[in-house]
Structure 1
């Protein structure tokens, strides 16, 4: 499908100070990891794969075609880097999946017969509720 090692070489990482609570530790350690991947300049994917990823990830890409993911779940920068890489690879795998074309099936005759029979019995039930016509 694609070469994972080459893809990981195209990624750029940036460590940022994580927001939120954490006391003094949070102010002195850059544990949040930001991953950036430029889809347009990638040599790992062919044009067809790039187009598929572009359409599937369009709400996540910037105007320049850069995918940016962040992770600050852990207090460890290395753990955050592993998590963001794992998330990125999963996103790419899902983006490259080709949906199978749906083949419309014909409604079976037995199903049509059952529907009409039920419809008829429902109609008879309603007509039996009416007062009889005396003439």
Structure 2
């Protein structure tokens, strides 16, 4: 691994809590692909970790509920031909997933009102346009 993968601020993905599994990757690659286990799956026990602050962990468990299996989140990578690069990709993807899932909720949007001047301008323009169109008619509308 090229170093610690930061989730957010000073919180780092703990290497000791990551469980790695390797298997043969599918797709083209010649004879090499038939002999090397280049696909990587990394599993992280989100429910039991002590690396994340409690608030973040609760948020992540709630947001990733559909993706968890017994509190464990897993990420696969097989886009590269080397196991090392797939390990990097999986770790980066897991860190990004945890960062997004544990992020604080966005601030609530405060609805704004349309200014009175905008409404008045719109109505004035409607009236002027109506007069223009009325003036095109041969009839006298009164």
TM-score range, shorter chain: 0.7 to 0.9
For the residue of structure 2 that corresponds to 1:14, the secondary structure is: strand
Corresponding residue for 1:92? 98
Which of 78, 83, 106 is residue 89 of structure 2 equivalent to? 83
Corresponding residue for 1:3? 11
- TM-score under structure 2 normalisation? 0.77
Distance 1:125 1:134 in 2: 13
For the residue of structure 1 that corresponds to 2:109, the secondary structure is: coil
Corresponding residue for 1:114? 121
| Alignment length (residue pairs) | 133
Distance 2:47 2:110 in 1: 34
1:94 Cα deviation from its structure 2 partner: 1.9
For the residue of structure 1 that corresponds to 2:97, the secondary structure is: helix
- Mapping 1:1-135, distance limit 5 Å: 1=9, 3-5=11-13, 7-59=14-66, 61-98=67-104, 99-133=106-140
Summarize the Cα distance change of 1:129–1:64 in structure 2 as closer, same or farther, 3 Å threshold.
Answer: farther
Taking only aligned residues, the RMSD between alpha carbons, in angstroms, comes to: 2.4
**Unaligned 5+ residue runs, structure 2?**
1-8
Large movers: runs of 4+ above 6 Å? none
Distance 1:14 1:130 in 2: 80
Offset from partner CA, 1:49-94 (integer Å, 9 cap, x none): 23322343344x1342321111112111111111111111112122
**Unaligned 5+ residue runs, structure 1?**
none
